[in-house]
């Protein structure tokens, strides 16, 4: 069973779909109104419409590379179908974006469940301010709701606030937190957390790490050291390196993704704060360009507003 096959497929609950639709409202309003303007006064999809559409996608933070792929696909369809009305464009655009995301060879996740590895170890990375600690807390809440025993490791020991935040989330969610004194060696915290998780037969370990995007070599060394120390306790840990990105930062999120994927083996993404921004297109661009599964999206403030990402549901919601 592969790393990303641990989630069992089930239909999106109506309340989750409703939260997704609400969380993407700002992006959707901007996106659809721009498309409407792009085709105003036109009955067929011509070069002008395609130029306007290209601008819509770029200004919606889909990213230039992904935008050009989408435009190329639509041009190919226009050439093939000879005549394509502007009324068909929205459906075509939705379908092409879904197909593009489907080609990234990443499964959708429909359940907060883990399989063979016990404990399953998640190392969370990302710069300060992206919603990393909140994501950890909400994820712990979801996992606990699935009946799993969860422990958090407060390995961001450079900021007192980070350790305190993790402790607060632990209390709020009702999960155990392993922490050391401010300024302790992060790898030591990770080691202690894994040892105690094994001893307590816990199911999932979530390790927070420092969110400083200092020079890449320093970041690489620090994260590498934490991984090496964890592997002394659990040979193949961490099973998941989850990079948290703030969707509202648009192109900045691309740059952070680039830096972190070069520094460590990121194999899952969480994109947060989508409810407060019109830049939700960033999810499409990052998913396409980095070929790393977007696993979670944050669509609101509530504890349950961290959702498993489903490509089809996401794109359908954008075009509703």
Res 296: pLDDT: 92
Question: In Å, what is the CA distance from 277 to each residue of 27, 28, 147, 151?
Answer: 6, 10, 33, 32
Angle at 188 between CA 130 and CA 239, to 5 degrees: 60
For the chain, give every domain's residue range: 10-101, 118-312
pLDDT of 121 higher than 90: yes
12 and 310 in contact (C-beta within 8 Å)?
A: yes
Res 40: pLDDT: 82
Average of pLDDT values for 271-281? 89
CA neighbours closer than 13 Å in the CB half-sphere of residue 259: 20
Spatial separation of the C-alpha atoms in residues 148 and 311, rounded to whole Å:
26
pLDDT category at 109 given cuts 50, 70, 90 is: low
pLDDT digits (tens, 9 = 90+) for 24-64: 898 888 888 888 888 888 888 888 989 999 999 998 899 99
pLDDT of 82 higher than 60: yes
Question: In Å, what is the CA distance from 73 to each residue of 50, 97, 168?
Answer: 11, 9, 48
Query: String of b and e for 72-111 (b: at least 16 CB within 10 Å)?
Result: ebbeebbeeeeebebeebeebbbebbbebbeeeebebbbe
Binding residues for GTP: 126-133, 208-212, 272-275
CATH superfamily of 118-312: P-loop containing nucleotide triphosphate hydrolases (3.40.50.300)
Helix axes 282-290, 64-81, angle to 10 degrees: 90
Question: In Å, what is the CA distance from 53 to each residue of 29, 71, 85, 171, 206?
Answer: 15, 8, 14, 48, 41
Res 4: pLDDT: 38
Binding residues: 126-133, 208-212, 272-275
| From 99-108, 187-196, 201-210, 289-298, the region with the lowest mean pLDDT | 99-108
Q: Which CATH architecture has domain 10-101?
A: Up-down Bundle (1.20)
Average of pLDDT values for 301-305? 87
Spatial separation of the C-alpha atoms in residues 285 and 300, rounded to whole Å:
21
Question: In Å, what is the CA distance from 119 to each residue of 149, 198, 233, 300?
Answer: 9, 7, 11, 29
Res 111: pLDDT: 61
Average of pLDDT values for 219-235? 92
pLDDT category at 135 given cuts 50, 70, 90 is: very high
State residue 233 phi and psi, 5-degree precision.
-95, -45
pLDDT digits (tens, 9 = 90+) for 207-223: 999 877 656 677 888 89
Strand 120-125 relative to strand 240-246, pairing: parallel
Res 113: pLDDT: 59
Res 112: pLDDT: 60
């Amino acid at each position: 069973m592969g790393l990303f096959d641990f989630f069992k497929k089930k239909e999106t609950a109506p309340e989750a779909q409703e939260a997704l639709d609400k969380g993407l409202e700002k992006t959707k309003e901007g996106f659809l109104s721009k498309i409407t303007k792009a085709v105003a006064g036109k009955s067929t999809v011509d070069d002008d419409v395609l130029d306007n559409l290209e601008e819509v996608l770029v200004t919606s933070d889909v990213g230039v590379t992904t935008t050009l792929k989408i435009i190329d696909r639509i041009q190919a369809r226009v050439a093939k179908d000879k005549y394509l009305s502007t009324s068909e464009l929205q459906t075509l655009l939705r379908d092409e974006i879904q197909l593009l995301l489907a080609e990234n060879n990443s499964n959708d996740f429909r359940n907060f469940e883990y399989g063979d590895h016990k404990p399953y170890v998640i190392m969370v990375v990302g710069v300060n301010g992206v919603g990393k600690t909140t994501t950890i807390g909400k994820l712990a809440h979801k996992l606990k709701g699935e009946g799993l025993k969860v422990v958090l490791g407060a390995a961001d020991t450079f900021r007192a606030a980070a350790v305190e935040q993790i402790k607060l989330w632990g209390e709020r969610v009702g999960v155990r937190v392993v922490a050391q004194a401010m300024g302790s060696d992060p790898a030591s915290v990770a080691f202690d957390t894994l040892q105690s998780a094994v001893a307590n037969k816990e199911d999932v370990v979530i390790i927070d790490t420092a969110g400083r995007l200092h020079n890449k070599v320093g970041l690489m060394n620090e994260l590498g050291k934490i991984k090496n120390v964890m592997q002394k306790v659990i040979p193949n840990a961490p099973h998941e390196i989850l990079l948290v990105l703030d969707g509202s930062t648009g192109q900045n999120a691309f740059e952070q993704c680039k830096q972190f994927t070069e520094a460590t083996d990121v194999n899952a993404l969480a994109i947060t704060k989508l409810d407060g921004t019109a830049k939700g297109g960033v999810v499409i661009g990052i998913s396409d360009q980095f070929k790393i599964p977007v696993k979670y999206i944050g669509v609101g403030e509530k504890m349950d507003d961290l959702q498993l990402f489903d490509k089809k549901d996401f794109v359908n919601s954008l075009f509703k």
